[in-house]
């Protein structure tokens, strides 16, 4: 029989998280700080709207780009929150989670051999999606001493005449880093100078602490060359609904929509109706959850530092990314030993790129009680391995 598989796909190595997940799920009574999704249930009024839409028999496809009222709400939301002005017809479309939008944007923009700059540590899907779109990933290694921000000098250095797109993943999973208005200024300059495009993954935009998220698309000249990706998973605790969206220039969106139309048809209808309610009446829920996360963030950082771990203060998402170099283990070894000795799961930093070596990702999408329990185990572990 011929080899049934594509070399392109078999060449992609499976996610480092997957491997870890397999070990954890074998284990009885393991507890975890390894989750990348909110611990809150979707607010009831949003769920209720989803249920109502089912009762009303709204069980059909929507138009490819999504429900008109949802696109209008998204437009209104982007203006209200980030000062961005997108036309609901043509500059916004609704996707199956932010993930689909990342994939779609890359496929719509890349030709074979085009280079895409990916700052790491960052979300696991960027690199494989670039490869699947026949692009060439070029990794920038973000540094702890820069608080894992992207520096314009680093960006300049990574650019070649093949470079086409920069993926901008802030607020960042796994580091929790954010980019302030001032940080972004320099990036925007470089992008303009080299005539590049940006895929700005802003899925954690509602989860910043102490300052509001700023979108790079709000800088002069940037809206025309930026795809803003956002969604409902993190801000409204709606991961299982699989709903995201992309905003951007019509010329790119038209092509993304074409891929979406043939590959997906439309995002889940029930989720879209629920999302309309989320955007109309969900601001308080978002604020409530943000406050909760912020308390846990402060609690966790203080506790980690208290037990002697080195940990820079993250101001976004719901992760901290402490350094574990002084314990004489690699990230993988640390995470595995922590799991076998204390039955506590965290994610090794290397799951998010090679430069995550020496770090682990700890999520604070957990109640204070759960955090306390887990921190006890962690403290026992590091005291043993001092």
Taking the complex as a whole, the smallest distance from the CB of residue 34 to other proteins amounts, in Å, to: 4
Question: Is 78:84 a contact under the CB 8 Å cutoff?
Answer: yes
Q: Which stretch binds other proteins (CB under 8 A): 79-87, 117-125, 128-136, 198-206?
A: 117-125
Q: Is 211 left (phi over 0), alpha (psi -120 to 50) or beta?
A: beta
**Shortest gap between Cβ of 156 and other proteins (angstroms)?**
30
Q: Residue 334 has which token pair?
A: 């640390």
Dig out the tokens for 35 from the structure: 């989750």
Minimum distance of other proteins from residue 180's CB (angstroms) = 20
Instruction: Tell the smallest beta-carbon distance from residue 372 to other proteins (Å).
Output: 8
How far, in Å, CA of 360 to CA of 155, rounded?
25
| Per-residue tokens: 217 | 């698309």
What is the rounded CA–CA span in Å between residue 335 and residue 385? 13
Nearest-angstrom CA–CA distance, 108 and 273:
27
Q: How far is the CB of 14 from other proteins (least distance, A)?
A: 12
Q: Which is nearer to other proteins, 39 or 141 (CB)?
A: 39
Contact (CB, 8 A) for 248 and 226: yes
Using the rule CB under 8 A, which residue among 41, 85, 156, 254 binds other proteins?
A: 41
Contact 94, 70 (CB under 8 A): yes
User: Cα Rg for the chain, rounded, in angstroms?
Assistant: 21
302 binds other proteins (CB under 8 A): yes
> Is residue 303 part of the contact set for other proteins (CB under 8 A)?
yes
Taking CB under 8 A as the criterion, the residue among 77, 86, 93, 123 binding other proteins is 123
Q: Which member of 6, 291, 340, 373 binds other proteins (CB under 8 A)?
A: 291
> Does 307 contact other proteins by CB under 8 A?
no
* Minimum gap (Å) between residue 302 Cβ and other proteins: 5
**Distance, CA of 296 to CA of 299 (rounded, Å):** 5
Instruction: Work out how close the CB of 21 gets to other proteins at its nearest, in angstroms, rounded to a whole number.
Output: 5
Site string for other proteins, 243-282 (x = CB under 8 A): ----------------------------------------
What is the distance of C-alpha 372 from the center of its chain?
A: 26
What is the β-pairing status of strands 344-345 and 92-95? Answer: unpaired
Site string for other proteins, 358-377 (x = CB under 8 A): ----------x---------
Q: Is 25 in the site for other proteins (CB under 8 A)?
A: yes
| CA separation for the pair 353, 125 (Å, rounded) | 11
Where do contacts with other proteins occur on this chain (CB under 8 A)? 15, 17, 20-21, 24-25, 30, 32, 34-37, 39, 41, 123-125, 173, 291, 295-296, 298-299, 302-303, 345, 347, 351, 368
């Amino acid at each position: 029989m011929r080899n049934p598989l594509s070399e392109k796909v078999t060449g992609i190595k499976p996610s480092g998280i997957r491997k870890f997940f397999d070990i954890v799920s074998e284990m009885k009574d393991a507890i975890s700080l390894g989750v990348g999704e909110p611990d809150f249930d979707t607010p009831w009024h949003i769920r209720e709207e989803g249920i109502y839409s089912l009762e009303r028999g709204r069980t059909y496809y929507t138009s490819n780009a999504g429900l008109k009222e949802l696109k209008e709400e998204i437009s209104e939301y982007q203006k209200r929150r980030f000062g961005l002005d997108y036309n609901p017809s043509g500059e916004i479309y609704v996707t199956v989670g932010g993930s689909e939008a990342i994939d779609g944007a890359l496929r719509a923009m890349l030709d074979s051999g085009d280079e895409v700059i990916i700052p790491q540590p960052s979300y696991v899907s960027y690199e494989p999606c670039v490869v699947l779109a026949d692009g060439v990933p070029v990794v920038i290694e973000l540094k702890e001493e820069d608080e894992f921000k992207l520096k314009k000098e680093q960006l300049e250095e990574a650019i070649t005449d093949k470079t086409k797109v920069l993926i901008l993943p802030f607020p960042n999973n796994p580091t929790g880093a954010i980019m302030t208005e001032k940080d972004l200024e320099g990036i925007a300059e470089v992008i303009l100078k080299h005539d590049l495009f940006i895929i700005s993954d802003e899925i954690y935009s509602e989860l910043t602490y102490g300052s509001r998220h700023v979108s790079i698309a709000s800088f002069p000249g940037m809206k025309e060359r930026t795809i803003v990706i956002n969604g409902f998973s993190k801000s409204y605790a709606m991961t299982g609904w699989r709903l995201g969206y992309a905003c951007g220039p019509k010329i790119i969106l038209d092509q993304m929509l074409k891929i979406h139309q043939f590959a997906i048809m439309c995002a889940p209808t029930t989720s879209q109706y629920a999302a309309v309610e989320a955007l109309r009446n969900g601001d308080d829920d978002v604020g409530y959850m943000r406050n909760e996360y912020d308390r846990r963030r402060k609690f966790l950082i203080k506790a980690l530092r208290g037990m002697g771990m080195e940990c820079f203060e993250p101001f976004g998402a719901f992760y901290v990314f402490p350094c574990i170099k002084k314990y004489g283990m690699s990230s993988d070894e640390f995470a595995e030993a922590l799991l076998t000795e204390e039955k506590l799961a965290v994610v090794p930093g290397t799951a998010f790129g090679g430069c995550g070596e020496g770090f682990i990702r700890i999520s604070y999408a957990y109640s204070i009680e759960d955090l306390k329990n887990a921190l006890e185990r962690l403290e026992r572990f590091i005291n043993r391995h001092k």
